[in-house]
Amino acid sequence: MKKIVYFIMAGGEGMRLWPMSRSHFPKQLHPLLGDRSLLQQSIQRVAKISSSRDILIGTRDDLNFSIREQWKELKMTSSPWLILEPLSRNTAPAIALAVLACRERYGEDCIVVTLAADHMIKNQKRFQEAIKTGIAAAERGSIVTFGIVPAYPETGYGYIKSGKKTGKDVFEVSQFKEKPTAEVAVKYVKSGNYLWNSGMFIFDTKVMADNLGRFAPEVWKISQKVWKQKKDRQGSVGFDKQLFAALPNVSIDYAVMEKAPRCAVIKADIGWCDVGCWHMVHEMSAKDKDGNVLSGDVCCVDTKNSFIKSEKRFVAAVGVHDLIIIDTPDALLISDKERSQDVKTVVNQLNARQSLLTKFHTTVYRPWGNYTVLEEGPGYKIKRVVVKPKQQLSLQKHIFRSEHWVVVSGKARIISGPNSILLKANESLFIPKGHTHRISNPYRQEVVIIEVQTGSLISEDDIVRFEDIYHRG
């Protein structure tokens, strides 16, 4: 039997779950359903049937350290194996690179089970059985996809029309269908021949490589070129941004699945959900007697069938029904539950205004820790900076701003020009603009610093790095 590799795709932005999901800390990194993030739950689901060494994660380069941190929290027995994309290029290039990664690591062709980091699967036993069935079909030369038995006429998913039955719960793929109208979705569900397209696949790497070369030659050719010039990143793989940009932005469904001669679909009733919008989060969550899902400091009066989440402030809801209310420190979303797919329209408008509200939270995670913007205005910004034990920021300077630091807790070793200074709780230091500096925490306790920035330009782009252990530009 060939080596089985589980490839988890975790590079999406999840903008229909804004304002909680932002591009630099997207939905798969949040604990939306349970105590662990969606990505961590996906890893745990696979780790029950696989060695951690055989779990490959495809993601964006800017999520590298956040994913490594979440992997570490799970206490996995091996280091994470990551494909780090400098740009998002959809699922066809991601799968092509996964094929090349598997071939290089194991020196031969493998069976790859491709999953998504933002899916929920309630029935673990049926999920494992479906994977076994899919692996057997893939070993016979089919590219296998999972079709989910529809629970209702959903218009937000693509559909697969099943054809001739070839095994237990296995059918030939007759047709792939785009997201339907409500009327068409009803017909699909009533027919019994249509399944939701889950976006999960199983294939032999040789079969996928042959089909990519035949039906998506540009994707396959450029992927091989990009792979040959890859960069080692702590045992994982990174790529040159300029080379990577030449990859076509195309899905595996369009590039291969709709054209390949041997595609099979498994009829899977596994309690599956694509956590794609707030309505689905509400549907998948445990509810109170009034059908509400409440998180944070929330009070409800005559409120029903609503999802209300507050990260910081007290939120009161009186006499409202079927609403989504998400309150974060810098953005508030109020939506009709049935319109939660349209949150993407808000995100598009924010992007048109070049707003940072779609990119960062008030708390921004870095490989050395995190910072939270407490307040900002013309010519100033106040941050709470947390540096993890044994970590350090880059040696850097700023052209347009000065910084004043006050240590709240812990101890920090500060490089300030030619000097090395130990800064303890209740002690402070001023860093003039143009002055080389670095914050280090060589100790076992995290250090918390209040940072006040002042100057003519307050921007995260105003950093000139000289040394950086995380190899950022």
pLDDT, tens digit, 9 for 90 and up, residues 322-353: 999 999 999 999 999 999 989 999 999 999 99
pLDDT at 157 over 90: no
Q: Read off the pLDDT of each residue in 142-163 and give the average, rounded to a whole number.
A: 90
The pTM assigned to this predicted structure is 0.91
Q: What was the pLDDT predicted at 29? A: 96
Q: Read off the pLDDT of each residue in 118-138 and give the average, rounded to a whole number.
A: 94
Q: What was the pLDDT predicted at 105? A: 94
Give me the half-sphere count of Cα atoms (radius 13 Å) on the Cβ side of residue 97: 33
Q: What was the pLDDT predicted at 473? A: 60
Domains of the chain in start order, with CATH, are 4-274 (3.90.550.10), 278-346 (no CATH), 363-467 (2.60.120.10)
Q: Read off the pLDDT of each residue in 259-278 and give the average, rounded to a whole number.
A: 91
Cα–chain-centroid distance for residue 402?
Answer: 34
Distance CA 374, CA 369 (A): 16
Structure tokens belonging to residue 170: 């296995």
pLDDT at 46 over 70: yes
pLDDT, tens digit, 9 for 90 and up, residues 83-110: 999 998 899 999 999 999 999 999 899 9
pLDDT at 472 over 80: no
Q: What was the pLDDT predicted at 437? A: 96
| Distances, alpha carbon 45 to alpha carbons 25, 40, 81, 203, 281, in Å | 22, 9, 17, 19, 19
Instruction: Place 167 in a pLDDT band, splitting at 50, 70 and 90.
Output: confident
pLDDT, tens digit, 9 for 90 and up, residues 190-244: 888 899 999 999 999 999 999 999 999 999 999 999 999 999 887 789 999 999 9
Q: What was the pLDDT predicted at 151? A: 86
pLDDT, tens digit, 9 for 90 and up, residues 411-465: 999 999 999 999 999 999 999 999 999 999 999 999 999 999 999 999 888 999 9
Average pLDDT, the chain: 94
Structure tokens belonging to residue 90: 């959809």
Q: What was the pLDDT predicted at 1? A: 77
